[in-house]
Structures are given as structure tokens and as C-alpha cells.
Structure 1
Amino acid sequence: MHAFLRRAAALAAFVALLWAIQIVNWILGYGLNPAFGLVPRHVTGMDGIVAMPLLHGSFAHLIANTPPLLVMGGLLMATATRALLAVNMMVVALGGGLVWILGSPAIHVGASGLIFGWFGFLIARGLVDRSPVTLGATVVIGGLYGSLLWGVLPGQPGVSWEAHLFGALAGVAAALLIRSPVHAPRLRGVDRP
């Protein structure tokens, strides 16, 4: 239970950090976005691979990203306890790297690539593992956020569909490559056969 609370606190701290960065970015007239956003095929924009999920274009942008961050992040931390770091590293590095290589010439910012990565991971993981817990997470995520799939298609001005697409693909890759079975909670003081 303590480990779950630590992970929940880490998720809450991450979302609070996003809001703190947004306030600073707003005060600076969104000057952090051109300085640290992902700029495809520019060496100076490579740091955006890591910084892109931390920056947003407006308060409305961050407000739209906060609920799926909390819901999917909660399901991820509850079901992928031993692989959280590896999954997040793969989604950020692979998804962001593909945006840097193949993305349209713009400044890409926002946590939606991370959200789509978590979405791809949670959906694919349920289908790969087929455990009741991961299948349940797949059903919940599919029911709540299945319409996200439209976000991987181009067409909305000012929206990085590339971050959505490559984030989702990175999440699926993480589900296929990073094994993190859901284990029953360990009981203290009980002998196991």
C-alpha cells in the first residue's frame, strides 16, 4: 500500500509540476516553448524530446491534458508497477525521437504525446498479457478514451498529430518489448508453496 501511495504522490507531483511550468511559461509570454519545445530536424530542438511533455501552448491545452494524465497515469501506476520508468522512458524517447525525425516544421509542445503513449501501452498491454487486470484496464481506457484514436490523424490546425501518432506507437512498442506482469499483492508472513 505504501508503494501505491508513493506512486500516486509522484503522479500528483508530476501534474503539479506541469501546472507550475505552465504558470511560469505564461508569465514569460510562452517564451519557454521556442526555447525548449521540440523542433524537428534542428539540433537546437532536440532537447524538446524530453521537454515537450512539460510545456503547453495555453491553459486550455493543459486543462484538456490533465484528466487523461490522471486517469491513464493512475491505471498505469496501478498495473505496471515494475516497468513505470522503462515505459515512460520509451514513450518519451521513441515517440519524441520520431517526432523530431519525421514531424512537421513547427514547435511541438504538450503532454498529449505522453498521454497517447500511455493509451497505446495500456490498450496493447491488455491484449498482450490477457490478465484480468490488464484486460480490465484496456476496457476502461478504450471506453473512456477510444475516441482519442482520431487524434492520430492530421487535420486539426495547431495540433501535433505526429506527437499523438508516434506517442501511441511508442506505447504499443513498450507493451510488446517491456514485460511487466501484474502480480498478486504479496502477503507478509504467509508461507508460499
Structure 2
Amino acid sequence: MNNKSYYLIPSFTMKTRLNKTALWVCITIITAIVLKILFNGIASGEMILFLNPTSTMLEYILNKHAQSTTSGFFFPDLHIMIDRSLSSENFLVMVFFVLSCTAPYHILKAWKAILLYGAILLASFVLTLAISAVRIMMALPVIRLQDSQPWLNSFWMQRVEGGVFYIIALQLVYLVFRNIFIHMKQQHDLQHPQASAVRHNLLVTYRRNSHLH
């Protein structure tokens, strides 16, 4: 292979991967915007898709019965209402956006990339439900103190507590899936050693050019 062909192959590969990455980033951004618009258009009493599974999980874990209301689900024994404020739809959008932008779509064929995209969307929904249930259970001790310490259950305190919890949860989810995606890349490199060699050559060429400039 002459030098001209040697540089054309890496250049073509790099361009193809950049185009695939840009395409999936655009699809992710559009999907996140559409989800946000759809969630904003849903009335509080119509968030059954989020509230019902979360309420069911809490009923099973806590062995408590919930009563269905027009705005959500009320737990008489716990004196808490699972309503729109605990639906965590914004967290779902953030989880999906972070995971989808991290996913290695560029190493996959089109149909596999589509399957991974759908799996990330489904995983984001399931994780949101589970994390939302965990947040509610962690908040129960604080809720029980609302009579003696009402400031603990104030609107702003709930916002701060929820924000800190979801940021930590998002970081943990990202770290777990990042390791999964790294493993996917490693497996792909083992199955496609030629592609791995091309990436290595690209990196070496880039570093040489950087030193020259």
C-alpha cells in the first residue's frame, strides 16, 4: 500500500465516524427536545405513565396501600402524595441525553445503532422510575419531621434535596454506562483489529501533526 492510500483510508474512516457521531448527536438532541415538549404538554393528572409504576413499586417495597386520586396516588399511612412533582420526567430527559451522547454509535452498523438507541431510551425510563422510588423512600424520614421541623419539608428544601439527589444519581448512572460502553468498544476492537489499527494510526498521525504545529 502506497503512502497516498495509507492516508486516504484513515481519512475516510475518520470522516465516516465523525458523520455518524454527528448524526446520532443530532437525533439525541431532537429526541430530548421532543420529550421535553411532550412532557410539558401533559397535564398533572395524566402522568400515569410515571406515577403508576412508581406508586406500585412503593406499595410493594413498603407494604403500604395507595389511593388513586385525580392528581396522583396518596399513601394514607405515610401521609404523602405521589404527584407531578415526583414524576421525574426532567430527570428522564437528562439521563437519556447523557447516555445517548456517550454511546458508541459510530462503531455499530445502522440496525445495531438503532437497537442501542431504543435500549437507551427504555433504560432511561426504567432507571427514572427506580431512582424516583428511591428518592421518595429516602425522603420519608424528612417528611415525618415536618410537624416539628416544617422548614425541612418546605418547597425550596424539597427542590434542593431533589436536585442534589438527582445530580448524584445521574453521575452514578453515567459512570456505570460509560464502563459498559468502553467494554463494547474493546469487544469491537477485538473483533475488528483492522479498525483498531486504523484508529491507532489516526491518533499517531494527529499527535505528530500537533507537535509539528
Q: Computing the radius of gyration over CA atoms, which structure comes out larger, 1 or 2?
A: 2
User: Is TM-score (shorter-chain normalized) higher than 0.5?
Assistant: no
Q: TM-score range by the shorter chain?
A: 0.3 to 0.5
